[in-house]
Amino acid sequence: MFLEPNFKGQRSGWIEVICGSMFSGKTEELIRRLKRARIANQKVEIFKPQLDKRYDEKKVVSHDANSIKAIPIEHSSILLELTENISVVGIDEAQFFDEQLPEICQALALKGKRIIVAGLDMDFRGRPFGPMPALLAVAEYITKVHAICPHCGNLATHSYRLTEEDDTVLLGEKDRYEPRCRTCYHMGNILNFHVKKQTDKAKT
Ligand code: ZN
């Protein structure tokens, strides 16, 4: 489990990244760290991209409803103004932010702030997601959390899309995604490919 480093006299802050597939407990881990920072009397604020409207506009809501209020913002650059008096900055659903987020996080860390970023490391195609790979490269601390694959019981690292929609950004819940291990994720894709080919053939 991640324990907060205690560097006496350290001049700069640092960046922590919590990543993993859907339903892996990223937001729960973000909330856990922020609540501990609050107990330590640190000023905490949480931000999320404006487009995540799945739940309450002003809340980071994890899947077990353990929630903390969050501020929806349109672009990462506004963080420079909004975090003036805040020492611990939480960022949820970081994969949906603009490409400038890693640069902004580094600027904030240099100002002495602790930045905790949570996000999906891969999209449903299994590709690195938005600004996440760059954030992982510049972070001091990385935690990869895992879900459990419901097909075989192994650790799940991939987010398998259960529907046929093609957009990379498709918000949704358990009816649209399923965490899967590498093998079950690829088996599902192969199966889908063949089913699609068959139905296309049947159409012609
Ligand atoms: Zn599996």
For position 71, which CATH number holds? 3.40.50.300
Going through 62-194 in order, the beta strands assigned E by DSSP cover: 67-69, 71-73, 88-91, 114-120, 141-145, 147-148, 155-156, 158-161, 177-180
Structural domain contains residue 127 = yes
Q: Is residue 66 part of a domain?
A: yes
C-alpha 82 – ligand 1 centre gap (Å): 42
| Cα–Cα distance measured from residue 36 to residue 38, given in angstroms and rounded to the nearest whole number | 5
Q: Measure CA of the first residue to CA of the last residue in the chain; give whole Å.
A: 55
pTM for this model (two decimals): 0.87
Which of 16, 29, 93, 178 is catalytic? The answer is 93
The reported pLDDT for the residue numbered 73 is 95
21 contacts: CB under 8 Å, gap ≥ 6: 120, 121, 122, 146, 147, 156, 157, 158, 159, 179, 180
Number of helices (H), then strands (E), in the chain = 5, 12
Longest CA–CA separation in the chain, Å = 71
Ligand 1 centroid–CA 175 distance in Å is 18
Q: Is residue 3 part of a domain?
A: no
pLDDT bracket for residue 128 (50, 70, 90):
very high
Residue linked to tokens 């053939």: 201
Confidence of residue 95 (pLDDT cuts 50, 70, 90): very high
Q: Decide if 153 is inside a domain.
A: no
Q: Which residue would you say has higher pLDDT here, 78 or 196?
A: 78
Confidence of residue 101 (pLDDT cuts 50, 70, 90): very high
- The parent domain of residue 68 ranges over 14-146
Q: Is residue 34 part of a domain?
A: yes
Residue 98 scores a pLDDT above 70: yes
- 93 catalytic? Reply is yes
Q: How far is the CA of 28 from the centre of ligand 1 (A)?
A: 23
Q: Is the dihedral of CA 137, 119, 168, 196 positive or negative?
A: positive
Distance 196 CA to ligand 1 centre (A): 22
Please count the structural domains in the chain: 1
Task: Return the amino acid letter for 55.
Answer: Y
The residue that leads in pLDDT, 59 or 38, is: 38
- The reply to whether 121 falls in a domain is yes
- Note whether residue 85 is domain-resident: yes
Residue from 79, 11, 75 nearest 45 by CA: 79
What are the tokens at 100?
Answer: 């400038």
- Mean pLDDT score, 107-114: 96
137: CA distance to ligand 1 center in Å?
A: 28
Confidence band of 61 (pLDDT split at 50, 70, 90): low
Q: Please report whether residue 169 resides in a domain.
A: no
3-state secondary structure of 139: coil
Which residue is associated with the tokens 């729960």? 28
- Would you state the pLDDT for residue 174? 73
